[in-house]
Amino acid sequence: MAEIVSLKDAVATLVSDGDSVALEGFTHLIPFAAGHEILRQRRRDLELIRMTPDLLFDQMIGMGAARRLVFSYGGNPGVGSLHRFRDAIENGWPRPIELEEHSHAGMANRYVAGASSLPFAVMRGYAGTDLMERTDVASIACPFTGEQLAAVPALRPDVAIVHAQEADRDGNVQLWGIPGVQKEAVLAASRSLVTVERIVEKLQPRPGGVLLPGWTVSLVAEAPNGSAPSYSLGITERDNDFYRAWDAISRDRDAFLDWMQENVLGGVGAAASAR
């Protein structure tokens, strides 16, 4: 059964300098509180993995925590650019960052292969694109029909971190709403942390609920409002105003650093920062 510990202890136990760390949540349930705790503990040289880097990785890249980024769509959804992500790639600030980029379908299938403990996943994709030359993908012939398909290598992160609505005292986790690739990320990783909005006595089954039995998760930590400014369906709402405001905060290096110091490194955390 997953042990329930504080967020601080969970990150200290599971995340080391140099690790590959997947923090998933597709627009919904993005684990901001955990990412901020990684920054407060000054973890360095991470390989950060997320399909959609979103504001969370913009912040982590801008603080220089990442040596490498694995991703498929690096934008501020509905708003525009991720300025810290761009500054790192275009200007090497605050440090140069190595990139591995895929399509969404490629990333999703890489997690599926990882969760399945298979070496690769097979899919239709990448054909004819310049991504073929730039990323880890190969052509493979179907052994039955000869059709040419794409093979993408399994993703096996050292650590997967996701956020969910609820866990019980045995560390069984339930999330609902947009499920993204969280289940796949947890099952693909060597170690995992689930932060939750609340610990409950007994999980009530939800329509479309995704259950992660406690024995599939390393550690669970309570982090109320831990997905803000993303959201936890049924409990918190997406802070669209903050997503818009981030454009101006993140455009300037000093304004960004000041904001991070005041709202994240000062220890207040994501919950306060989004208000």
Partner 1 sequence: MSVTADSSPATSGELQTIVAARRLTDVATVFIGVGRPSTAAILARMVHNPDLVLVYESGTIGAKPFHIPLSIGDGELAQTADAVVSVPEMFNYWIGPGRIDVAFLGAAQVDRYANLNSTVIGDYEKPRTRLPGAGGAPEIAASCGEVVIIAPHTTRTFVERLDFLTTVGHGEGAGSRERLGFRGRGPSAVITDLGILEPDPQSMELTLTQVHDGVSVKRVRDATGWQLAIASEVAVTEPPTEAELSALRELTSR
Which residues sit at the interface with partner 1, rule CB under 8 A?
26-28, 51-52, 71-75, 77-79, 81-82, 85-86, 89-90, 101-105, 108-109, 111-112, 123-131, 134, 147-148, 177-181, 183-184, 208, 210, 231, 233, 237-238, 240, 243-244
Cα–Cα distance measured from residue 256 to residue 248, given in angstroms and rounded to the nearest whole number: 9
In the complex, the smallest distance separating the C-beta of residue 28 from partner 1, rounded to whole angstroms, is: 5
In the complex, the smallest distance separating the C-beta of residue 251 from partner 1, rounded to whole angstroms, is: 14
* 192's tokens: 């995992």
Residue closer to partner 1, measured from CB, 126 or 221: 126
Residue closer to partner 1, measured from CB, 38 or 181: 181
Cα–Cα distance measured from residue 225 to residue 248, given in angstroms and rounded to the nearest whole number: 23
DSSP 45-71: SEEEE-SS-HHHHHHHHHTT-EEEEEE
Residue closer to partner 1, measured from CB, 3 or 101: 101
Q: Which residues does 47 contact at the CB level (< 8 Å), separation at least 6?
A: 18, 19, 20, 21, 66, 67, 68, 69, 70
Residue closer to partner 1, measured from CB, 213 or 267: 213
Residue closer to partner 1, measured from CB, 19 or 166: 166
In the complex, the smallest distance separating the C-beta of residue 126 from partner 1, rounded to whole angstroms, is: 6
In the complex, the smallest distance separating the C-beta of residue 213 from partner 1, rounded to whole angstroms, is: 17
In the complex, the smallest distance separating the C-beta of residue 30 from partner 1, rounded to whole angstroms, is: 9
